[in-house]
Chain A
Amino acid sequence: MTRYASLAVTACLAAVAGLAFQRVFGFGPVAPVAAVAAVVPTVLCALLSGPRGKPWPLWISVVLTVVAWAATVTLTVLRPALGDGTLPRTLREGVLGSWKTILTTLLPAPAEPELLVLVSLVVWLAAFASAELALRTALRAVPCVPSLAAWAVALLLGVDGPGSNVPLAAATVVLIAMLVMLRADVSASGMAWRPLVVGVPAAAVLGGLAFASGPVVPVGAEPYNPREQVRAPPPQQRDSVSPLDRVGGWLLSPDQVMFTVQSRRSEIERLAVLDRFDGVTWSSTARFVPTGRRVPEGPKPEREHQVGQRITIRDLPGVWVPAADRPRQVDGLPVVVDPASGALAAAQPLRPGQAYRVDSVVPEWTADDLADAAVATDAEARAARELPWGPGAKEPPVQIAEFRRFAQAATRGAVSPIQKAAMLAQYLKRYARYDVTAPPGHSYRQLDYFLGEGRRGTPEHFATAYALLARTAGLPSRVVVGFDGGNRVGDTVQVRSGDVMVWPEVKFDGLGWIRFNPMPDSARRSKNNDSVAAGETEQKLEEAQKNAASQQRGQGPGNTPQKKAQKTALSEEGSPMPWWVFASIGVAVLLIGYVLAVLLAPALRRRRRRTGTPAARVTGAWHQALDDLADVGLSSVRTLTAHEVAQFGASSVGTDAHGHLRPLADLVNRSRFAASGPAPDAADLAWRHTDELGRLVTAKAGRLRRLRRRLHPRSLRDRRDVTSRGG
């Protein structure tokens, strides 16, 4: 009976370890796979264990479980591959290559059969090994080791995934405790119900404590992330034509419906992020990685709002997937994502009719946020300040110096990066006209013409000119192509080619990339009358930028707002925790530690007392009996003989207790004072008497009184220390 109960627990342990893969795939796909992979090998091992507890040879068990796994995984996880004839390849990919795919995929990974094979394999192995260990060894806790190994695999693969495994970890704690208690006496024929009755609630409390305390345990360092050791796939040319090159054409035929958006709120849809300029063209350095649906978070703004959009592709070409910045989750379309920028691309070129839902979190910046922002200095920002000479150029283009002078003139008087960036945008707004017929192109020469003679251009010109001017002024910049506005038809906004927008972004430390609008206001007015108004977010951002710039203009360096901002930042990031928090945590830790100690110490003592030589076990039985009698008032045995203690037990507990105490006293006297030591069966007999006495004392004293005594500090003291002083 104990064997089968142990097998049930090992199966549960393996299943819970399998559920820990939920951070990789989510609960839905993992649950049935883990359940099947945990139960089937356990049942198989139970059947092979034989009715008398003598299992078959291990090699037979191994062969059968391999066959069983192959059959089970074929009929369950790989059933789709069974039909199209790709079973061998999928199985091989699943066993050998799925871990690589998972590590190079943003979690949650898609629940593809070849990936779920790994879950099935790991859980199956864990369940099989646990069951075999439970059947073939007498060690209590060893059968949980394979499941812990499966846990380790799940943790490593899911370290970057969404969700939490804390409840599963708590469940594992409880199950391990149950397993240890169940296997406390494997030689016994029947189930050890008593330790279970006491231990399972205690284990549940432990699990609850683990569940409650797990999230608040301070973490000294980020967990090891194997993804950092995995080489990401090389960047791929996603589209032969840069979206920036399409802008001119789209603006000239503005009525082409690119896609429709169903959303309660109008937002700018970002299409492509172009961060590298080679002197002639802007391109993307995005390192796209596959994702199931999740997009990693970007910088965390103080204020943000969530937007849910359902987008249906109409005539939008290429692979770039429009979405409000910054997307968090994409459903309905297989996409790859650039973790740095959050830009989305489809695995295959978009087709009309494709629809997907994208949930985004749009940051909201205020003047206070921007006022004291410093320019970012990280590697990405350094790359975004580069001004290449151009393909094949031997010397820097002369336009760069002119651009620098232009930027200096535009930003004269600016004392902060945000002021410089805002002044540059305002300057361009006033400096040039919006003209969709302007010749496209954004090389140094073409932008020189735009800034020098032409002074008219499309968003392509304004944005790229701003980006280059910003770089000459020391601001890290990039160019983003997207869509702004559209025609509302019922609940749906039709985004047309004429709504295309290009804007520059500047990276600030702690804030990330901030959009600027160097376009003249006439650009909006030139759109059709049925265009939806510019997004509220965009308006707020422009207003904030203006306010931030005006704040800076009136104050010099070292002004009060800066100090205020520094103070705010300090209070938010580095403010010392109040002393009472530390004190409370300390008291709570002490209390929990004390309760655990007073509850565990007697149990550990009892366990220790049951081990050793027969004499030591008899001694342990006597000490345990004295501990039990303490519950009915036995205070000190310093001057009492064993039979006097037995007399006390008879008077306190009853004659039944004397029936156990008297022979126990004889045994312990013999063990201590006779010339020859006791035999092993004498030790067993002593413990039987002690166990019976414990039950009688429990019945007499009541559990409440015993618990009260257990919580007393003297529970921590070993009676042996006391008695040894006396004798």
Chain B
Amino acid sequence: MTENGSMDAEALVARFAQMFAALAGNVERVVRGKREKVELALVCLLAEGHLLVEDVPGVGKTTLARAMSASVDAKWTRIQFTPDLLPSDITGVSIFNQGTSAFEFHPGPIFANIAVADEINRGSPKTQSALLEVMEERRVSVEGAPHPVPRPFMVIATQNPVDMDGTYPLPEAQLDRFLMRISMGYPDHQAEVALLAGAPTGATLDQMPPVMAREDLARMIDFAQRLHVAPPLFDYLVRVVAATREHPDLRLGASPRASIALLRAARVRAAAAGRSYIVPEDVKALAVPVIAHRLIVTPEAELRGRTGADVVGEALRNVPTPQAAGV
């Protein structure tokens, strides 16, 4: 990168960071006390990934999705997954138009910038698999005809890990398509008090002003993926991911898709921090939310209480970090 190019990148990345902060601040107006989760969700959005929010009801999963879509002036839809939900209820159907004597495609709710798949694990496997194509290829094929979804496109799926009766756990292939899995968690005492105190007069989703246009969001996505990555960081990232594949507590390690996802997310995080380059801190900060849900722990390890997050944490503690002064 030339000096001028470097200066441009510095200016652009500063603007990126400013817009990211504005976006996060806007979302946080309704999702209080969860700045870190909000930022992770926005990282996911700007990395063009899909987010799986796993938590108990009432902690703001849907609110987060709605607040994000409202903040970017994007079209959003909500799909409530139930056992009798059909794939066509999501993707859309072709209906014969007697006037034109032709089949017309009527897009389903998935055709939105942000699609909230609420309680995704309550949908049947057949319905869940309807999301596979659109999540990866960003298009829906109906009767052989592809129908691309708008850009940006993001699926925010929620699921309740407690009440598992009548649910269908997401298959590995489905989980792997989610860039990140986060857990909202309960707000801390102070945030919950503030939530109650501001409830009557606080910002509501309906009143949230958009702080960013869809076009701006698309530009930010493109910009983030052009950030510089030093060669040692590629090596570090691969080492972290590969460490999960050889771990004895895992039945299934992370796939190359996980490496790509981690790199994309790290780029966005770096830009959000005002940097035009990635540092190891970005990888470390995102490794657990990006990788952990893709791992399958062995039954023995599961009995010992081991989780995918534990394994990723262990990998981060063992894999040598590319030293900042390693020249």
Contacts and interface: CB of A to CB of B under 8 A. Distances in A.
A619 interface: yes
Interface residues of A, number: 32
Given A638-B321, A669-B279, A675-B277, A723 B228 contact: no
A589 to B, nearest CB: 36
B232 interface: yes
A643 interface: yes
B316 interface: yes
Would you list the 6 A-B pairs with minimal beta carbon distance, nearest first? Answer: A726-B320, A622-B325, A727-B326, A642-B324, A727-B322, A675-B228
B202 to A, nearest CB: 34
B116 to A, nearest CB: 35
A344 interface: no
11 contacts: A622-B324, A639-B316, A665-B324, A672-B326, A673-B322, A674-B277, A676-B1, A723-B323, A724-B326, A725-B320, A726-B320
A637 B327 contact: no
Contacts of A727: 232, 236, 320-323, 326
Given A643-B281, A672-B322, A675-B6, 9 more contacts: A620-B325, A639-B316, A639-B318, A641-B321, A668-B325, A669-B279, A675-B228, A723-B325, A727-B326
A622 B327 CA distance: 11
A66 B42 CA distance: 80
Interface residues of B, number: 30
B280 interface: yes
Contacts of A619: 325-327
A639 B317 CA distance: 6
Contacts of B319: 639
B164 interface: no
B296 interface: no
Nearest to B319: A639
Interface in B102-148: none
Interface string B1-40: 1010010010000000000000000000000000000000
Binding site secondary structure of chain A: helix
A639 B278 CA distance: 17
Contacts of A642: 279-281, 324
A672 B325 contact: yes
Contacts of A669: 275, 277, 279, 281, 324
Nearest to A726: B320
Nearest to A645: B324
B280 A641 contact: yes
Interface of B: 1, 3, 6, 9, 228-230, 232-233, 236, 275-281, 284, 316-327
Interface string A685-722: 00000000000000000000000000000000000100
A188 interface: no
A504 to B, nearest CB: 85
A670 B273 CA distance: 13
Contacts of A639: 316-321
Contacts of A671: 324-325, 327
Interface string A614-645: 01101110110010000000000111111110
B279 A623 contact: no
Given A615-B327, A724-B326, A726-B320, A641 B279 contact: yes
Nearest to B230: A673
Interface of A: 615-616, 618-620, 622-623, 626, 637-644, 665, 668-676, 720, 723-727
A604 B206 CA distance: 66
A641 B317 CA distance: 11
B327 A670 contact: no
Contact of A623 (B316, B321, B325): B325
Contacts of B327: 615-616, 619, 671-672
B228 A674 contact: yes
Contacts of A644: 281
A501 to B, nearest CB: 88
Contact of A670 (B1, B277, B317): B277
B275 to A, nearest CB: 8
Nearest to A674: B277
Contacts of A615: 327
Given A622-B324, A642-B324, A724-B326, A676 B3 contact: yes
Contacts of B281: 641-644, 669
Contacts of A626: 325
A673 B277 contact: yes
A637 B323 contact: yes
A637 B321 CA distance: 8
Contacts of A668: 324-325
A645 to B, nearest CB: 8
A669 B325 CA distance: 8
Contact of B1 (A623, A675, A726): A675
Nearest to B236: A727
Nearest to B283: A641
Contacts of A725: 320
A637 to B, nearest CB: 7
Contacts of B326: 619, 672, 723-724, 726-727
A673 B321 contact: no
Nearest to B3: A676
B198 to A, nearest CB: 33
A637 B317 CA distance: 11
A288 B322 CA distance: 79
B237 to A, nearest CB: 12
A642 B322 CA distance: 10
Nearest to B318: A639
A675 B9 CA distance: 10
Nearest to A686: B325
Given A641-B279, A643-B281, A672 B3 contact: no
A615 B316 CA distance: 27
- Which of A615, A620, A640 has the most C-beta atoms of chain B within 10 angstroms of its own C-beta? A640
A727 B233 CA distance: 9
Nearest to A725: B320
Nearest to A636: B320
Contact of A673 (B278, B316, B317, B320): B278
A723 B232 CA distance: 13
B272 to A, nearest CB: 15
A641 B228 contact: no
Nearest to B276: A674
- Which of A643, A674, A723 has the most C-beta atoms of chain B within 10 angstroms of its own C-beta? A674
Contacts of B230: 672-674
A107 to B, nearest CB: 59
Contacts of B6: 675-676
B323 A726 contact: yes
B228 A640 contact: no
A107 B230 CA distance: 72
B325 A673 contact: no
A265 to B, nearest CB: 79
A680 to B, nearest CB: 14
B131 to A, nearest CB: 36
Contacts of A723: 323, 325-326
Contacts of B322: 672-673, 726-727
